[in-house]
Amino acid sequence: MTRRDKTRFKIWLAVVGVFTLGCVTGASLVSAYRSQAGAPEARAREDLFGQLRRELRLSEQQTGHVRAIIEETRDKYRELRSECRPRYDAARASARERMRALLTPEQRQTFDAIVAERDATRDRDKRERR
């Protein structure tokens, strides 16, 4: 191998190394972002559980019982939300109709687009929490 070929090979290795390092860093950052951004409810539940286990120095038996209580409570919260959801939805729909009545046709189009975007975001967030 000539000196020129060795230099080219080193440059090529450096480029491949930088590219690989960039890919690994990017994948790590995406993973970290998703773990921080997704499922805030689950993260809060685990934070509480971890804090209780750590600070109270729970035994294995206590740990199992505390986790079960937290899970049961989560299920009760979900049940309450599903019971109240129709009332929230009705209040939201009523407010939207009252606002739409105040708007011009052009404003209604924009308003409807804003509402559709917010509904889509809420639905997506709800699916991600499950």
User: 9-50 pLDDT, tens per residue?
Assistant: 778 877 667 777 776 677 777 666 666 555 556 666 678 888
Q: Are 20 and 49 in the same domain?
A: no
Length of the chain: 130
Q: Are 10 and 57 in the same domain?
A: no
CB 38 within 8 A of CB 128: yes
Residues 101-130 have pLDDT tens digits of: 999 999 999 999 999 999 999 888 877 766
Cα–Cα distance between 45 and 64 in angstroms, integer? Answer: 14
Question: How many Cβ atoms from other residues are within 10 Å of residue 58's Cβ?
Answer: 16
Encoded tokens for 127: 């699916």
Residues 59-92 have pLDDT tens digits of: 999 999 999 998 899 899 989 988 998 998 999 9
Q: Are 47 and 3 in the same domain?
A: no
25: containing domain: 1-37
Total number of domains in the chain: 2
Among 119, 111, 129, which Cα is nearest to 38's? Answer: 129
pTM for this predicted structure:
0.47
Q: Are 26 and 44 in the same domain?
A: no
Q: What is the DSSP string of 49-64?
A: HHHHHHHHT--HHHHH
Q: Are 22 and 62 in the same domain?
A: no
